[in-house]
Amino acid sequence: MAGVPGASASGAQRTYEVRTYGCQMNVHDSERISGLLEAAGYAAATDAQADVVVFNTCAVRENADNKLYGNLGMLASVKEKHPGMQIAVGGCLAQKDRDTILKKAPWVDAVFGTHNVGALPALLERARHNNEAQLEILESLDVFPSTLPTKRDAVYSGWVSISVGCNNTCTFCIVPALRGKERDRRPGEILAEIEALVADGAIEVTLLGQNVNSYGVEFGDRGAFAKLLRACGSIEGLERVRFTSPHPAAFTDDVIDAMAETPNVMPQLHMPLQSGSDQILKSMRRSYRSSKFLGILDRVRAKMPHASISTDIIVGFPGETEEDFQATLDVVEKSRFATAFTFQYSKRPGTPAADLPHQIPKAVVQERFERLTALQDRIAAEENALQLGRTVELMVTAQQGRKASETHRLSGRARDQRLVHFSVPDGVEPPRPGDLVTVTVTEAAAFHLVADPTGPAALHIRRSRAGDAWDRAQADSCGVPAPGGSAAGPAGAVSLGMPSLPVRGA
């Protein structure tokens, strides 16, 4: 069986593991990597050491290099004891570092970039055949990633790319250099993929792009994103639609109207602020100012009063004064974010900001970062306290809270994406991941809500097609018939390593 993809020299099926770092785009790319490997005959590893370990990397943070090379170093000795084991590195850091990876870690077998994910099985097989490392980095997109096989992380929800790449020139960001100029998919292709996901049991999709609200510029329709959201509203069986991430400079009122008027588009918005200082926004080449940002939030809340809004903020950008930082604190106070993903500025070689004067000392950045997170933690707790007594619909997730073994609570996401841990009264059959439950919020913390129904009547469970798909996937993974099912469903979930954008304390 040598030379057959996915098979060892002895003919045994080879296993794989994907370790993912970074944003939702990387998580979705890892689903494609898993799908490609399974299509090539590999199987997901369980407890044993995988025959193939793939690192899907991120290059946004300064410590990305150290994290990758530290992990590769730990695997070097593992590989020596595991004959035939292969290691592959892909993603943004691979696109940036290229042959540096093989120089620093010569035991790596394959390096591929952001534009040629589909080449991975061939690179692995070529490395086995030639007994030497394979490096393939393309400068532009080879095949649109959404045409590749995909193994989804969850049967009840899915990511759908509407575009890849970015046309913005933010001075702190290396993504455009690594993922290229924006390329848009045609609406018909996107809607067909969503319909296929729904046919497989998904009831939620998240539309992905580096800048979703510039979608359509490539084919001459600046209103295309709002039209796409409305078109999602006509897909039978699709109950929840989300998207990430928009750019404040290009965010238009037709998108707000589409969100408010399309029932399955969720009242939740991730709107990256980055800084509340107009001077810093100018240095970042973020082509909006704080007044425009706050105006967007006002218009969103006028149409959707209960919408939750999250954001990204960078602390310590070069040249940031105490007055600039105070401006950020002021905008955060006014914005009342449900969640904020806060980052200390990370100097990335190859970005214009890396060469700017007045880099901020680490101690100053750390002190400001702590003040910002303390402010946002207070606001998040206050905003969550307003949810007490509200009745919310949750989609049950497979992920559980850290204290689930003690509290015996399940977890779900509300329509506004808030995390809710809920208990199931005695005598009630627990809902499955993908099912929908309606509960009343009884406790609130900064990073989650709690719902403890007082009796069976206080918990309403709507068993869904997505829950049925979960049952089928679990049955398939165990090799037993699905309860009450007929046709086989999609494959079960696969661990993708690090979760995307973890929320502290959830």
* Final residue belonging to a domain, choices 105, 136, 167: 136
> Within this chain, do residues 104 and 186 fall inside the same structural domain, yes or no?
no
> Within this chain, do residues 454 and 365 fall inside the same structural domain, yes or no?
no
pLDDT value for 145: 61
Residue 25: phi and psi, rounded to 5, are: -60, -40
> Within this chain, do residues 121 and 166 fall inside the same structural domain, yes or no?
no
Q: Is residue 498 part of a domain?
A: no
Residues of the chain with pLDDT under 70: 1-11, 62-63, 140-151, 477-506
The predicted-structure confidence for 139-187, as pLDDT tens digits, reads as follows: 766 556 666 666 677 889 988 989 988 888 899 987 777 777 888 999 9
> Within this chain, do residues 160 and 132 fall inside the same structural domain, yes or no?
no
> Within this chain, do residues 299 and 396 fall inside the same structural domain, yes or no?
no
The predicted-structure confidence for 15-73, as pLDDT tens digits, reads as follows: 999 998 877 777 878 888 888 898 889 999 987 899 999 999 887 776 677 788 889 99
Q: How far is CA 302 from CA 150, 281, 292, in A?
A: 39, 26, 15
Q: Is residue 492 part of a domain?
A: no
For the chain, how many residues are written?
506
Residue 241: phi and psi, rounded to 5, are: -125, 130
> Within this chain, do residues 377 and 395 fall inside the same structural domain, yes or no?
no
Total-model pTM: 0.76
Q: Is residue 9 part of a domain?
A: no
Helix/strand/coil (H/E/C) assignment for every residue in 196-244 = HHHHCCCCEEEEECCCHHHCCCCCCCCCHHHHHHHHHCCCCCCCEEEEE
> Within this chain, do residues 106 and 159 fall inside the same structural domain, yes or no?
no
CATH of the domain at 466: 2.40.50
Q: Is residue 5 part of a domain?
A: no
Nearest to 88 by CA among 14, 168, 17: 17
Kindly write down the DSSP assignment for every residue of 266-321, as one continuous string. -SEEE---B-S-HHHHHHHT-S--HHHHHHHHHHHHHH-TT-EEEEEEEE--TT--
> Within this chain, do residues 342 and 441 fall inside the same structural domain, yes or no?
no
- DSSP category for residue 501: S
> Within this chain, do residues 308 and 292 fall inside the same structural domain, yes or no?
yes
pLDDT value for 400: 83
> Within this chain, do residues 252 and 271 fall inside the same structural domain, yes or no?
yes
pLDDT value for 154: 82
pLDDT value for 5: 63
- DSSP category for residue 462: E
* Final residue belonging to a domain, choices 136, 161, 177: 136
pLDDT value for 482: 44
Residue 204: phi and psi, rounded to 5, are: -135, 140
**Is 58 labelled a binding residue?**
yes
Per the structure, the complete domain to which residue 245 belongs is given by: 149-385
pLDDT value for 495: 30
Q: Is residue 420 part of a domain?
A: yes
* Final residue belonging to a domain, choices 136, 167, 198: 136
> Within this chain, do residues 273 and 358 fall inside the same structural domain, yes or no?
yes
Q: Is residue 30 part of a domain?
A: yes
> Within this chain, do residues 51 and 168 fall inside the same structural domain, yes or no?
no
Q: How many domains does the chain have?
A: 3
pLDDT value for 179: 72
**Is 92 labelled a binding residue?**
yes
pLDDT value for 1: 43
Provide the token pair at 438: 């309606």
Is 117 in contact with 102 (CB distance < 8 Å)? no
**Is 478 labelled a binding residue?**
no
Distance between CA atoms of residues 470 and 397, nearest Å: 10
